[in-house]
Structure 1
């Protein structure tokens, strides 16, 4: 599942179904103790050339084998835990590189960030290699797992859940329960990983990225950022001006829009995406039994939430209450392909059976997700994502600010208002060491955003495009997809435009548009700030 800041849940296995790819928590599913930083005397010198080795960690490492088959190699770059104390404790940042095979026409190094914050990159690098097609032969394609993520030592708060994200539910009692839940998560983080929390931020990740650039011997790097990765790229360009070449942002954040909390303001876009899915499901009532009209399908969703508010729904061994059901519904949005729509329908059908009969067996996507959501199986991913969130966009410290926002949101958006305005652990988190980066520069970049993206509003992409007048914007019209470039979505118009820019470094003369995966739902109600 993707939040406005990136992916909130990920699948436990890499070869995942479309809904599962949005739902579960982490590709590598690291867990265990908080990262053990290297003593200064035990670490290699920062800036030393990478010591490349095989990317295959064990016989089950399918991504490592794919990288090896393509000639990829891995290394660990030593960086300071605290960049203000370069002589102090060191940590290692995992890097993978698939070298250019056409040395005569090599363009340079293309660095990828998959979003999150806290998404692993190395295990998905071959997906980006495939998207580049023939152009991959001309780039050294580099994936950097951000600190505490992926193949790095984890930051693990030892939570009993994979994610802080929950809905406030109904009434003051529901909100108070969630405030206590979030305070408890923050307290656990202080106890289990408090020494690392000050050093999990986008500014630190940007400094690590520049250390990787230096270790690779590159004066400038090209950069592909997805979702949160667009914010990392914006911060990097502001902190290290002149060190980027070709820049592509897909699912574009406008930095000023991240405060006071990233999900705020996306309720209407998510309701629109849910309606768009319901319009797909309605003609397929014979297959899924959710209703024969768009409104009837949405009414089924409403009955599921009402039932969960009365009594938690039993799905397998788990009890899904009013705080969790909206999260599940939100989590499956952001991909408008037919195969994803079908899996959403299967999941909603499971919830409907649980609401009507009191119990249901989980479908495959829920069977994979729920253990993460209700146990500490994937605590490390959620811990790291939250640490970055609270460092970058801490928001208000007073819980009452969130409660009032929940009540305002509930009045207009009964399902998503209490979810997307709810309190987070950040009011109870240690205060950030640094203020957020002021991104007031201008960098030539190619930006891509769908008009109906429910995670990053299209208005954010337009605002960032205005802030960087040297950029160009590709608008994907009628699409509800979050992050469009790549082989999985298969939008040839977007892929060709991005690869043409990466190939010659020339931005399109004007802003352009591409059609989405399928025509927009004519019954949907897009908000004015989604469509120009």
Structure 2
């Protein structure tokens, strides 16, 4: 069986290495996944016991849940392909099935597809802070007083996590998830990992290549994060400009259908409606069904709707409904708007694809954030002229400002591992320059640019150019001779 590495930055003395034997020699018990999607696909699931702290492997343990869909072409099997949906905090047990359905032409059948709920998430030993709301990602609001309310909210969310922590939070980090992946690789008897990561999952993949350079095979990193900008402040700030551009595109699309949506006949008209709604919400929350939506949360709602131009119809409908609600005319929101509001404003987690509490733990545990609220307020104010809707959102304070310092240093990624990076120029979540930054720091990579598409998740867009590159790479390992620019079809 292939051995596990502890990584360059972890303790390497013989007692620690010997103590890991109890993890590398465990026998996985595979069984039904108790998930309709996975069970129908023939997947099996198992729980992997991992150290809470790899520096103290004789100490407390936690569980990491994994799934496996066996290669459908065993004659040409190329090993295992582990995937991560992003977040952080994204649940990934059923991701192999979702990937194969979203891009059925790719040669998934050459691999045993491995899904994973990372530590702190879902069926793995979870982080649960008992938050009274579903998300911490809210706008600073209209003025300094409203920002003060947001500061209090973020401080309270952090305090709830720290008050309920039993020693787990400091170890719910990207470094430790990378170590868990390497342990999973060992237990599955493989020398190397193939990997498909999206969004934050690209950062996890890049960290893995840095910590375990000899354990990496084919890696596709879709909608990438620049490791040099990863964290709770600058990485999120990078979203402001592309989010505003996506809102412009949505406003143009909506204005072209003025008879249907009644939000105006020009981009400026639609923009004015949106700004007016935020201003109204600052004076008094807009009642949308059972929810009161104020200026902290209305930009968060819009954030959820502008991430993919294929969903502009839903986005325009949502703005129309909120405008009707602001005029006292809406009784109940549509199902998608109801789901959006519930996800933001309530503590319901049963069907969530991601845990925001574990996401917070990972980001805050990876990289320290600025502590001074005034730093955030200055950035919010400076952003308003160019980013009037999303600037106060992406520059706002987060729970990380009130979090203990990370127990390990951030991973400095710089290597020549040959990976394939996919990045859309219009991605509002992973700004295009983030992918360029990852490409720059991973000198053996190739960058495939999807031109003029607003999407987060390049592989979901029909493009024979992208598909051919990904198919060739997953099938025989061949990267393009040079970077490419592709277009959607």
Q: Does 1:453 align with 2:460?
A: no
- The residue number in structure 2 matching 1:13 is none
Distance 1:202 1:155 in 2: 14
Correspondent of 1:85 among 44, 51, 56? 56
- The residue number in structure 2 matching 1:213 is 185
- TM-score normalised by the chain length of structure 1: 0.84
3-state SS of paired residue (2:462): coil
Distance 1:271 1:334 in 2: 11
Distance 1:113 1:459, change over 3 A: same
Size of the alignment, in residue pairs? 465
Correspondent of 2:457 among 472, 483, 486? 483
Q: Output aligned runs, 1:342-361, within 5 Å.
A: 342-357=313-328, 360-361=331-332
Distance 1:447 1:406, change over 3 A: same
Gaps of 5+ in 1: 1-42, 518-532
Distance 2:437 2:95 in 1: 29
3-state SS of paired residue (1:269): helix
Please tell me the root mean square deviation across aligned C-alpha atoms, in Å.
1.9
Per-residue CA distance 1:328-368 (angstroms, 9 max, x = gap): 1112122111xx11111111111111222375421211212
Deviation at 1:248, TM superposition (A): 0.7
- The residue number in structure 1 matching 2:277 is 304
3-state SS of paired residue (1:133): coil
Distance 2:29 2:326 in 1: 54
Distance 1:358 1:166 in 2: 26
- The residue number in structure 2 matching 1:97 is 68
Deviation at 1:323, TM superposition (A): 0.5
- The residue number in structure 2 matching 1:527 is none
- The residue number in structure 2 matching 1:5 is none
Deviates more, 1:356-365 or 1:316-325: 356-365
Distance 1:151 1:260 in 2: 25
Distance 1:344 1:419 in 2: 18
3-state SS of paired residue (2:105): helix
Distance 1:358 1:432, change over 3 A: farther
Q: Does 1:498 align with 2:470?
A: yes
Distance 1:474 1:66 in 2: 34
Distance 2:324 2:411 in 1: 48
- TM-score normalised by the chain length of structure 2: 0.91
Gaps of 5+ in 2: 1-19
- The residue number in structure 2 matching 1:63 is 37
Q: Does 1:53 align with 2:30?
A: yes
Deviation at 1:400, TM superposition (A): 1.4
Q: Does 1:268 align with 2:245?
A: no
Distance 2:318 2:478 in 1: 44
Per-residue CA distance 1:79-122 (angstroms, 9 max, x = gap): 10111111111111111111113222111111111101010111
Per-residue CA distance 1:386-420 (angstroms, 9 max, x = gap): 11111123311111111111111123322111111
- The residue number in structure 2 matching 1:415 is 389
Deviation at 1:132, TM superposition (A): 5.1
Q: Does 1:203 align with 2:179?
A: no
After the TM superposition, list the runs of 4 or more consecutive aligned residues in structure 1 that deviate by more than 4 angstroms: none
Deviation at 1:463, TM superposition (A): 2.0
Deviates more, 1:142-151 or 1:200-209: 142-151
CA contact (8 A) 2:142 2:279 kept: no
- The residue number in structure 2 matching 1:525 is none
